Chains A and B, each alone.
Chain A
Amino acid sequence: MTTTLPIDRMIDTERGTISREIFVSPEFHREELEKLFTRAWLFVGHESQIPNPGDFFVSRMAEESVILCRDTMGTVHVFLNSCRHRGMKVCRYESGNTSLFVCPYHSWSYTTDGKLQGVPLYRVLYEGQLDRSEWSLIEVPKLHLYKGTVWASWDAEAPDFMTYLGDAVDHLDQVLDCRDGRPGGSEVIGIHKWILPANWKFAAENFLGDTYHNPSHRSVDMIGIGPSARAGQTGRRDNEYNKGQHVWASFPAGHGVHSVWMPEEFDYQPSYAQYPVVDEYFRHCFYERKKRLGDKARIMPFTGNLFPNTSYHGRQPRALCVWHPHGATQTEAWRFFLVDADAPAEVKDVLRRFYMRYSGPAGMTEQDDMENWLYATASSTGTIARRYPFNYQQSMGAYKHNDPIPGDVSTQITEQNARNYYQVYARYLKGESWASLLGTGDAVRAAAE
């Protein structure tokens, strides 16, 4: 479990320096796959993608393909997408409905609950040797369904998902709940998958609360691409959070968010100019949500990252994005776009059009992020470059605990979320206990004092 990498020297969050090695070196990449992605809770998919028995969706956990499947009895599973015989990828369709996964290689077949069922010529070739019950598809030991989303961990000892999520739940809820505050009720309306030649942590860290990079989006802010841009409004989204207090909160398990804490009295800000039906929908939802959630309605989301690699945009746009490592300097991004499942068709249509012009490789906003992540990675690979760490000293110490919301909360733009994230990251790489990974261990408490 111990590592030979000088992690504490490379990740020095006291001083606010982090070595470039963790963003470019194959050693760190390998350590992450071994020690981090085998333990942390990872986002796998959404129940709206597998509504019926036998439905499946092929997803990923880090570098490996997995099958998210609702078995014929209705139970949700996540399996490694690799045959137990010689490893052939059992399912190469992205989604569908089946009663059996038949391996293309030698035709072993698995039922939707993962059991090995068919073995050709079993009697003649395997009778008395092969115990089928021991050769099911490899299934994640930990699975959790939360408001439609599906999460899994490869570590049987992992704490339950809600403990892992901790107080970040209040922010994730703003992504997953209906706009009118009813719990859950979202659906995935489409998925982007693309490859970017950058280390995955650049993307995760960006969503974790790097509001400082706003100037890189100057072009979209100048021309206006938001939901009200057709009415001549500049900027890349509506000004929904007028008068709110921006907060950057980090949590002991490594999550970080950028949200807005609205004043006690706050009112709906007209949005979606030129789309009266949509504006009306959000106006209605706004008041319903306030009624339903009370004080909690004061939390409005921008972005966040749930440790390690699931990022979100909370409202405009609204999506979950998983940054899968794909080599030390390459990421495979999967973005799942969300809407309220029961929203009117016109609302969904306006939203999807906005999402497409905002997010992903064709998104006018995110293209500039991708450019930055690529060249930041590429220019950090050099021998000389790697001798010089990145600077993480922004707003050192400028945060309060549980004020005005749970977590370590800054009311100014900060790299505290990132410092916290890499502290937790370092603990994974050092193979520490779950108590420590959740930020509840003695060592962690002592360090905090």
Chain B
Amino acid sequence: MSRLDRLALKQEIEDFLYMEADLLDQRMFREWLDLLAEDLIYFMPIRRNVKFGQHAEKENTKQGEGISWFDEDKWTLGKRVEQILTGVHYAEEPLSRVTHMVSNVRLLEVSPSVEDPRDVVVGCRFLVYQNRVEYESNTFIGRRIDTLRRNGESWLIARRELILEQNVLLAKNLSILF
């Protein structure tokens, strides 16, 4: 029955997202990369102050054009991981302490069907806390929309959109993975 299927699916997806967050917080970066689809789109727009009524059109920079905080693919994220693992990427050396919180999880689209979910668009909120060296700390809060793709018993992240609730970035760096 569809409601139970939906509940089970939601639980499965949540478990996946929590496991994924844990990999990052445990600094298992390579294992985290394995959860990304080869054709991944990883996107964090820059948010702008616009006049009422222009939000849909102008508030966020757009994926695929111009400059955003992140608009990249798996290769680039792989490079970010590689860089951290050099041990001389000083912006993450010594490593930051990071916790990824995920909440407000909702299934936005399931296709082709809840009974046979192969692609799932899932919305959530993120709260990422970073503490660095001694006194440096940043809190990144926002909305996230992920497209997950069925991969055997698990899932692959095919698209991640991170809507950070900031205009001027209040952190000196986005040196952690989201």
A216 an interface residue at 8 Å Cβ cutoff?
A: yes
B86 an interface residue at 8 Å Cβ cutoff?
A: yes
User: Do A361 and B68 touch (CB < 8 A)?
Assistant: no
Q: How far is the CA of A367 from the CA of B172 in the complex (A)?
A: 8
Contacting residue for B86 out of A95, A191, A219, CB 8 A? A219
Q: How far is the CA of A374 from the CA of B138 in the complex (A)?
A: 14
B82-99 CB mask vs A (1 if < 8 Å, else 0) is 110010111110000000
Q: A356-B67, A374-B172 are in contact. Are A223 and B86 (CB under 8 A)?
A: yes
A332 an interface residue at 8 Å Cβ cutoff?
A: yes
Shortest beta-carbon distance from A382 to chain B in Å: 14
Shortest beta-carbon distance from B128 to chain A in Å: 14
Contacting residue for B49 out of A92, A198, A332, CB 8 A? A92
Q: How many chain B residues have a CB neighbour from A under 8 Å?
A: 39
Q: Give residues 160-178 of B contacting A (CB, 8 Å).
A: 167-175
User: Do A193 and B169 touch (CB < 8 A)?
Assistant: yes
B112 an interface residue at 8 Å Cβ cutoff?
A: no
User: Do A337 and B67 touch (CB < 8 A)?
Assistant: yes
User: Do A195 and B49 touch (CB < 8 A)?
Assistant: no
**Interface residues of B, dominant DSSP:** loop
Q: How far is the CA of A332 from the CA of B69 in the complex (A)?
A: 16
Contacting residue for A216 out of B54, B90, B170, CB 8 A? B90
Contacting residue for A189 out of B50, B66, B170, B174, CB 8 A? B66
User: Do A189 and B67 touch (CB < 8 A)?
Assistant: yes
User: Do B172 and A361 touch (CB < 8 A)?
Assistant: yes
A96 an interface residue at 8 Å Cβ cutoff?
A: yes
Chain A residues in 8 Å Cβ range of B71:
352-353, 356
Q: How large is the interface on A (under 10, 10 to 19, 20 to 34, 35 or more residues)?
A: 35 or more
Shortest beta-carbon distance from A64 to chain B in Å: 15
Shortest beta-carbon distance from A112 to chain B in Å: 16
User: Do A193 and B70 touch (CB < 8 A)?
Assistant: no
Chain B residues in 8 Å Cβ range of A189:
66-67
User: Do A362 and B79 touch (CB < 8 A)?
Assistant: no
User: Closest chain A residue to B167 by CB distance?
Assistant: A193
User: Do B67 and A190 touch (CB < 8 A)?
Assistant: yes
Chain A residues in 8 Å Cβ range of B133:
375
B20 an interface residue at 8 Å Cβ cutoff?
A: no
A405 an interface residue at 8 Å Cβ cutoff?
A: no
User: Do B168 and A357 touch (CB < 8 A)?
Assistant: no
A206-229 CB mask vs B (1 if < 8 Å, else 0) is 000000000010111011110001
A197 an interface residue at 8 Å Cβ cutoff?
A: yes
User: Do A96 and B91 touch (CB < 8 A)?
Assistant: no
User: Do A195 and B168 touch (CB < 8 A)?
Assistant: yes
User: Closest chain B residue to A95 by CB distance?
Assistant: B48
Q: How far is the CA of A306 from the CA of B51 in the complex (A)?
A: 34
Chain A residues in 8 Å Cβ range of B86:
218-219, 222-223
Contacting residue for A225 out of B51, B79, B92, B173, CB 8 A? B79
User: Do A194 and B67 touch (CB < 8 A)?
Assistant: no
Shortest beta-carbon distance from A98 to chain B in Å: 9
Q: How far is the CA of A170 from the CA of B68 in the complex (A)?
A: 31
User: Do A355 and B67 touch (CB < 8 A)?
Assistant: yes
User: Do B79 and A223 touch (CB < 8 A)?
Assistant: yes
Shortest beta-carbon distance from A128 to chain B in Å: 36
Chain B residues in 8 Å Cβ range of A216:
90
User: Do B72 and A356 touch (CB < 8 A)?
Assistant: yes
Q: How far is the CA of A337 from the CA of B44 in the complex (A)?
A: 17
Q: How far is the CA of A364 from the CA of B70 in the complex (A)?
A: 11
A87-102 CB mask vs B (1 if < 8 Å, else 0) is 0000011111000000
Contacting residue for B67 out of A96, A192, A229, A375, CB 8 A? A192
15 further interface pairs, Cβ-Cβ under 8 Å (given A357-B72, A364-B83) = A92-B49, A190-B67, A191-B46, A219-B89, A220-B83, A222-B86, A223-B83, A352-B65, A353-B72, A355-B67, A362-B173, A367-B92, A368-B90, A370-B173, A375-B133
24 contacts between A and B (CB under 8 A): A190-B46, A190-B61, A190-B68, A192-B46, A193-B169, A194-B170, A195-B170, A196-B172, A197-B172, A218-B86, A222-B86, A224-B79, A352-B65, A353-B71, A353-B76, A356-B69, A357-B79, A362-B69, A367-B89, A367-B92, A367-B173, A368-B89, A370-B91, A370-B172
A: residues with CB less than 8 A from B are: 92-96, 189-198, 216, 218-220, 222-225, 229-230, 332, 337, 352-353, 355-357, 361-362, 364, 367-368, 370-372, 374-375
Chain A to chain B: the 9 pairs with minimum beta-carbon distance, closest first: A190-B67, A367-B91, A194-B169, A219-B89, A362-B174, A196-B172, A190-B66, A219-B86, A371-B91
